[in-house]
Amino acid sequence: YEGAIKIVEDFFRTSQETSIDYSPIDNYFDGKYLNTFIPGRLDNLLFKFTINHPSCFVKKSVYERIGLFNLGYSIAADYDFILRAYTSGVKFKYIKTPLVSYSLNGMSGKPINKFKQIRESWIVGSSIEQQLPKNLQAKRQKFYLGWICKELFIFPAKYFIKPHKTKKIKIFLRQKLGCKLPSDSYGSW
């Protein structure tokens, strides 16, 4: 987006202890605006990737400190990198303005790849699981079981219901429930 680099530069300049800036993302599907992804809570990175990698602006010192992306992951390399940064104590800063756009027509947006994403995310998170208290380990296992069950339930519908319809369903549910969906703490579409 126009002006995005200037915004990030200003944030890094005014908050020198911050090493990763991230923001919401405007999502597109088939070239049309779909919605804005609002990142979830950073502490939920222990369970799932709660921010989107295109919105992350990372200082060079982070790469020098924790290493590069693990290209052994075809979908979750970004999650692995961000989780390593987070658990290493790297400071993150949220910028409220969407700085980038993202096409949901890519590899990770295809329904068939959702299970690969879950598997790779599980493997990434498992690298730190032993460091977690027992209650968080149990919560993480319950989270993944729920995620798999949800995907198995809605998987057939994903081939027939396009993202624009899914957006309307989520809006309807949020209005009927009068609150956010439980999944919103992991990022909301």
**Taking a C-beta distance cutoff of 8 angstroms, is the pair 160, 70 a contact?**
no
**Predicted TM-score of the model (pTM):** 0.84
Enter the tokens of residue 177.
């429930």
Q: 71-130: per-residue pLDDT in tens?
A: 999 999 999 999 999 999 999 999 999 999 998 887 766 777 888 999 999 999 998 988
Query: Lowest mean pLDDT: which of 70-84, 128-142, 147-161?
Result: 147-161
What's the rounded Cα separation, in Å, for the pair 154 and 42? Answer: 26
Domain boundaries, the chain: 4-180
Mean pLDDT value across residues 5-10: 92
Number of neighbouring beta carbons within 10 Å of residue 62: 19
Instruction: Tell me what percent of the chain is helix, strand and coil, each rounded to the nearest 5.
Output: 55, 15, 30
CATH number for region 4-180: 3.90.550.10
What's the rounded Cα separation, in Å, for the pair 71 and 73? Answer: 5
SS3 20: strand
